Amino acid sequence: MVKVVCTYTLTEEQLGRIKSQLGDRAELVKVKDFDEAGDVLSEARVLLTNQLTIDQKDLEKMNNLEWIQCVFSGINHFPLGYLKDKGVILTNARGVHRIQMSEFIVSLLLSIVRRSYHYTKAHLNRKWDPIKIDELYGKTIGFIGVGAVARETARKLRPFDVRILGVKNNVEPVEYFDEIYSGDGLDKLLEESDFVITLVPLTDETKGMIGEDQFRRMKKTAWFINVARGPIVDEGALVKALKEGWIAGAGLDVFEKEPLPEESPLWDLDNVIITPHIAGPTPHYMDRLMDLFIDNLEAFVEGRTDKMVNVIDYDKQY
């Protein structure tokens, strides 16, 4: 029997699904924290965790650890070098965000062109303040990163008759995209897009990849949207771009520091829409993650680790 340590409280239904598919081949043990877990840590071969801080000293207590399933897509809070050296498999929640994040992005785009954010503020101030609104029709939307969320968003955007561009490492046709550029084509995407949307993982390569040079290449009428990770963007350069009119505005769900500090100048800019890192959560999140985890757990129990999905490449950090 494979012992699984879980730091997340699963529902009875979710536990029942694991039991139904795995039977007596796996045992799931809930722990509140590593300090009070005791001997169960050294016995476990699998860790299912939602912790935002993972200390190497805690993982060192898990002598038999072979696989970690992270509840999130981001894995930068893990001691990746240590896990690589130990040969521990790390899988993330890539794809679990596809539905809710695509809906969030589409709603944000519509809010921007129809100026919903302006009218919300006017409403709160009891102000009748009609301004010019726009359409998504005919706009060019550029995705930096063409993973599951970008592809689902592109599918949802097709009925709006927009042009959809993407930047990814391997240039190949992608359904619902009009054109795919390699990394060298980022400048071209920035210059052509009315909306630039970042959906890349945070790695050593992508950290700070959007800065002053990139904002200066964008149209003055373009909006920048970040629903990936805050450190991908040079926030100081973004503030400067917004204040000096290099771009029209920004929709931001993630930031260099979270919660966004009260003293951040982003709060005071009228051309910024701020949400508190809420594009991904949904009541259905863990049910969707269970689909992924249970299939991976069955492959693991059967010794078919080559069939597991969302396995992190430690060198690429995604």
Q: CA dist 294 to 10, 127, 286, 291, Å? A: 13, 53, 12, 6
User: Residue 169 is which amino acid?
Assistant: N
User: Measured in Å, how far apart are the chain's first and last C-alpha atoms?
Assistant: 30
Query: Exactly one of 191, 258, 284, 304 is catalytic; which is it?
Result: 258
Question: Any idea where the domains of the chain sit in the sequence?
Answer: 2-96+283-307, 98-274
pTM comes to 0.95
Question: How do 140-144 and 89-91 pair as beta strands?
Answer: unpaired
Determine the Cα–Cα distance for residues 147 and 201; give it in Å rounded to an integer: 10
- pLDDT tens-digit series, residues 265-306: 999 999 999 999 999 999 999 999 999 999 999 999 999 999
292 near 300, Cβ under 8 Å? no
Q: What is the mean pLDDT of the chain?
A: 96
- Choosing from 17, 114, 155, 277, the catalytic residue is 277
258 is catalytic: yes
Q: What is the pLDDT of residues 7-34, one digit of tens each?
A: 999 999 999 999 999 999 999 999 988 8
pLDDT of res. 37: 84
Q: Residue 178: its pLDDT value, please?
A: 98
Question: How is domain 98-274 classified at the architecture level of CATH?
Answer: 3-Layer(aba) Sandwich (3.40)
Q: Could you say which of 45, 97, 98, 229 is catalytic?
A: 229
**pLDDT number for residue 162:** 98
What is the separation of C-alpha 36 from the centre of its chain, rounded to a whole number of angstroms? 31
Quick one: pLDDT at residue 229?
A: 97
The CATH number given to 2-96+283-307 is: 3.40.50.720
Crossing angle between the packed helical segments 148-157 and 98-113, to the nearest 10 degrees:
50
Q: Is the pLDDT of residue 36 over 80?
A: no
Would you call 163 a catalytic residue per the annotation?
Answer: no
* Residue 154: pLDDT over 80: yes
pLDDT tens by residue, 53-97: 899 999 999 999 999 999 999 999 999 999 999 999 999 999 999
pLDDT tens readout for residues 197-215: 999 999 999 999 999 999 9
